[in-house]
Amino acid sequence: MEHLHFRQFPAGINAIVAISCYSGYNQEDSVIMNQSSIDRGFFRSLFFRSYRDEEKKMGTLVKEDFGRPDRASTMGMRHGSYEKLDDDGLAPPGTRVSGEDVIIGKTTPISQDEAQGQSSRYTRRDHSMSLRHSETGMVDQVLLTTNADGLRFVKVRVRSVRIPQIRDKFSSRHGQKGTVGMTYTQEDMPWTIEGVTPDIIVNPHAIPSRMTIGQLIERTWEKKEMRLLLQMSRKALHKCGYQMRGFERMYNGHTGRPLTAMIFLGPTYNQRLKHMVDNKIHSRGRGPVQILTRQPAEGRSRDGGLRFGEMERDCMIAHGAANFLKERLFDQSEAYRVHVCETCGLIAIANLKKNSFECRGWKNKTDIVQVHIPYACKQLFQELMSMAIAPRMLTKGLKSAKGRKPLTAMIFLGPTYYQRLKHMVDDKIHSRGRGPVQILTRQPAEGRSRDGGLRFGEMERDCMIAHGAANFLKERLFDQSDAYRVHVCESCGLIAIANLKKNSFECRGCKNKTDIVQVHIPYACKLLFQELMSMAIAPRMLTKDLKSAKGRNPTTSYVRNLSLTFNVSGSPFYIQYTFITCPNHVVLPSSYLSIPCLSNSTSSFYATTSYKRGSSMFPSRQIVKRLRVPAIDRERLLLEWHSPDCKSCEMDNLRCGFKNKASIKVKCFGDEPV
């Protein structure tokens, strides 16, 4: 990094990055970028391109020279502008240039043999170098020196400012690269309660697939501004007022409403890569073609055509776009006109200036038709004819060139040595109805040697989906593969424990033994669920309205978010209560105090003064909290006065009471106590 001067010229910037799905424009490897940040100079960079040229000797006397070409005496001048050149043929530093502007002027003397006829007034030929047609910029530096042969050598460097735009590529230092899929102004970006808007929004699905966990740790460390361990960073974030895992509550920039999920937000060092759309964008209407095949040249540097390959061709065939296919592959590529003899089908000789045509095989000069074929097809016919194979184009009934009878196909007959290879159908034929399965996944084994099943892959699956064969697809991928039966709790959605011999079922999550349903899933899906549960992730199968295993409430707001706090400092009387919740179908004794304001349609809320009584309830109960509640139980009230007491108050005809509402100290009052 020291040799590349990364400290003086860094390749990136610390950006505020959010991991979220937002508007759908950051799918796959794309990201959403803040257009307002870009307008403020976010990720602006300088792009340099050098153009070099040198003088060359063409013989003993002819030598190329740098200079500004003169249109009156120079032939072959380019379409670009020569106005940016000085007299020495070089564009000076600080000159703004655009596509096809000439930046290096160079000419060559014309030989005596060439300077004849119409070109007699020209004395030189243009060999100048122009800027690339898709680029603009400013001349940064010009270097003029000599090479080993004593001839002048020049290098011109052009500088351009590159502003981030859609399709430019960026990456974190942990390899999480992505292209810009959309840019939003600051008012359309999500924002936190502090008014912070992210510069970049990354898709959350990129983290588990790419496994770039380092950037998450970097974002957490930079957010708390100290390099501590991850466990200590949580405490530091929480101490500074942040969420312990670095999440933020954000609001939708389009609607202003809070987002349903917490967003992981923080600074991350992102780099701008060299893959920019300005260097890759390319289109053309007309341009150079290959000399041999007359097809458009290949590559952006040669101003070539866009490749229309086999997959594009098959796609157009599937859509039935015959005219468009003919236009792309024939009319706009290598259309060629030939003249064919109607009698024998061979290509005839044509002289269009004299309007004369002749077939050398049939000696025909009248029955000649014009046919349009690809130029590569014409070359193929000529190559086959050089091998004594005469391809014929059928325009109507063909006749033989020798007997002048209707032409029939000639059969090429002769002895040839043939070998039998080891690839025989008896060694490859394979089918099975039932057979061995893999121990882990219970899917059919692979391979003919293991008597395995026939592979039904992704292409076959997509084909069946395209044909709408849903039942056949289910039969192949599920019924005949790894169908498995599980029993699911209808209340919480977890897989229950089943004893089919005793016909007993139980859900360990909510202790349910009755509301159990049978579900058929792939055995691999069951393995996935078990693996997720080993990672403390509980996947649930929704069979009807899903309830929580704790409290059976979809939100469990009153169970998880309940914070019962009482101010017991103002009274000396309190009772230790145990707050519990249980399903509505459970009948409790009358000694349990019902709390209707915390109950709902599926579960009830109770309070009891005995911990043992609360803990010995039915298995479906759940203890929510134990609190000291200010109350008076007249049956078990035991009141003891400590110093100071109110004995002197009664003797003096005064009233005894608390000093204030927030104290348990007493005093004597002449009137009603405060």
Distance CA 301, CA 248 (A): 47
Q: Contact 471/465 with Cβ under 8 angstroms? A: no
* Tens-place pLDDT, residues 253-273: 999 999 988 898 888 889 999
Q: Select from 569, 547, 550, 575 the least CA-distant residue to 561.
A: 550
What was the pLDDT predicted at 150? 87
What was the pLDDT predicted at 617? 47
Q: 45-162: same fold as 12-44+165-272?
A: no
DSSP state of 372: E
Determine the residue type at 507: C
- Choosing among 3.90.950.20, 3.40.50.10680, 3.20.20.70, 2.40.270.10, the CATH entry for 12-44+165-272 is 2.40.270.10
Distance CA 300, CA 277 (A): 13
* Tens-place pLDDT, residues 408-457: 555 566 788 999 999 999 888 888 888 898 888 888 888 888 888 888 88
Query: Where on the phi/psi map is residue 256: left (φ > 0), alpha (ψ -120 to 50), or beta?
Result: left
- Asked, as a colleague might, if the bond just before 644 is cis with ω within 30 of 0, I would say yes
With a cut of 60, say whether residue 643 has pLDDT above it.
no
Tokens of 453: 């099943």
How many C-beta atoms surround the C-beta of residue 590 within 10 A? Answer: 6
**Beta bridge partner(s), residue 157:** 50, 141
Q: Contact 643/617 with Cβ under 8 angstroms? A: no
Q: Which residues of 528-540 are buried (b: 16+ CB within 10 A; e: fewer)?
A: ebeeeeeeeeeeb
DSSP run (H or E) holding 314 = helix 310-319
Q: Contact 574/568 with Cβ under 8 angstroms? A: yes
Q: Select from 1, 21, 19, 20 the least CA-distant residue to 11.
A: 1
Rg (CA), the chain: 43
With a cut of 50, say whether residue 568 has pLDDT above it.
no
* Tens-place pLDDT, residues 490-515: 888 899 999 988 889 999 888 888 88
DSSP run (H or E) holding 522 = strand 516-522
Q: Which residues of 13-46 are buried (b: 16+ CB within 10 A; e: fewer)?
A: bebbbbbbbbeebbeebbbbbbbbbbeeebbebe
**Beta bridge partner(s), residue 489:** 516
What was the pLDDT predicted at 316? 93
- CA 266 remoteness from chain centre: 21
Q: Which of 14-23, 226-235, 404-413, 531-540 has the highest mean pLDDT?
A: 14-23
* Candidate list 29, 88, 140, 367, residue with the active-site label: 29
Q: Select from 39, 331, 66 the least CA-distant residue to 184.
A: 39
Q: Which CATH superfamily is domain 282-331 in?
A: RNA polymerase alpha subunit dimerisation domain (3.90.1800.10)
- Choosing among 3.40.50.300, 2.130.10.10, 2.40.30.60, 3.90.1800.10, the CATH entry for 425-479 is 3.90.1800.10
Higher model confidence: residue 301 or residue 602?
A: 301
What was the pLDDT predicted at 650? 56
What was the pLDDT predicted at 598? 72
Q: Which residues of 308-342 are buried (b: 16+ CB within 10 A; e: fewer)?
A: eeeeeeeebeeeeeeeebeebbeeebbeeebbbbb
DSSP run (H or E) holding 65 = strand 65-66
pLDDT > 70: percent of the chain = 79
Lowest mean pLDDT among 8-22, 295-309, 557-571: 557-571
Lowest mean pLDDT among 202-211, 389-398, 553-562: 553-562
pLDDT band at 188 (very low <50, low <70, confident <90, very high): very high
* Tens-place pLDDT, residues 319-351: 999 999 999 899 988 899 999 998 888 999 999
pLDDT band at 406 (very low <50, low <70, confident <90, very high): low
Q: What are phi and psi of 671, to 5 degrees?
A: -125, -155
Give SS3 for 226: coil
Q: What are phi and psi of 104, to 5 degrees?
A: -130, 115
- CB-based burial of residue 112 (10 Å sphere; 0-12 exposed, 13-18 middle, 19+ buried)? exposed
Distance CA 447, CA 638 (A): 83
Q: Is 29 a catalytic residue?
A: yes
Mean pLDDT of the chain: 81
pLDDT band at 223 (very low <50, low <70, confident <90, very high): low
pLDDT > 90: percent of the chain = 35
Distance CA 21, CA 247 (A): 15
* Tens-place pLDDT, residues 457-475: 889 998 899 888 999 999 9
What was the pLDDT predicted at 592? 77
Angle at 538 between CA 556 and CA 495, to 5 degrees: 100
Tokens of 313: 């061709």
- CB-based burial of residue 552 (10 Å sphere; 0-12 exposed, 13-18 middle, 19+ buried)? buried
What was the pLDDT predicted at 397? 57
With a cut of 90, say whether residue 96 has pLDDT above it.
yes
How many C-beta atoms surround the C-beta of residue 368 within 10 A? Answer: 19
What is the architecture, at CATH level 2, of domain 45-162? Beta Barrel (2.40)
Q: Select from 654, 658, 657, 656 the least CA-distant residue to 670.
A: 654
Distance CA 612, CA 258 (A): 44
User: How does strand 96-97 pair with strand 137-146?
Assistant: antiparallel
What was the pLDDT predicted at 372? 92
Distance CA 396, CA 400 (A): 13
Distance CA 392, CA 601 (A): 86
Domain ranges for the chain, please list them. 12-44+165-272, 45-162, 282-331, 425-479, 483-534, 557-629, 641-674
How many C-beta atoms surround the C-beta of residue 223 within 10 A? Answer: 21
What was the pLDDT predicted at 563? 40
Distance CA 30, CA 178 (A): 5
Higher model confidence: residue 610 or residue 308?
A: 308
Distance CA 604, CA 587 (A): 10
Q: Contact 394/387 with Cβ under 8 angstroms? A: no
Instruction: Return the HEC string of 560-622.
Output: HCCCCCCCCCCCCCCEEEEEEEEECCCCCCCCCEECHHHCCCCEEEEEECCHHHHHCCCCCCE
The residue to which tokens 């990055």 are assigned:
17
What was the pLDDT predicted at 646? 58
Half-sphere exposure of 234 (CA within 13 A, CB side): 4
Task: Please name the fold of domain 483-534.
Answer: DCoH-like (3.90.1800)
* Tens-place pLDDT, residues 54-93: 998 877 667 889 999 998 888 888 888 999 999 999 999 9
What was the pLDDT predicted at 564? 41
How many C-beta atoms surround the C-beta of residue 612 within 10 A? Answer: 8
Secondary structure E strands in 113-218: 124-126, 129-130, 137-146, 152-162, 169-172, 177-184, 191-192, 200-202
Higher model confidence: residue 395 or residue 483?
A: 483
Higher model confidence: residue 536 or residue 49?
A: 49
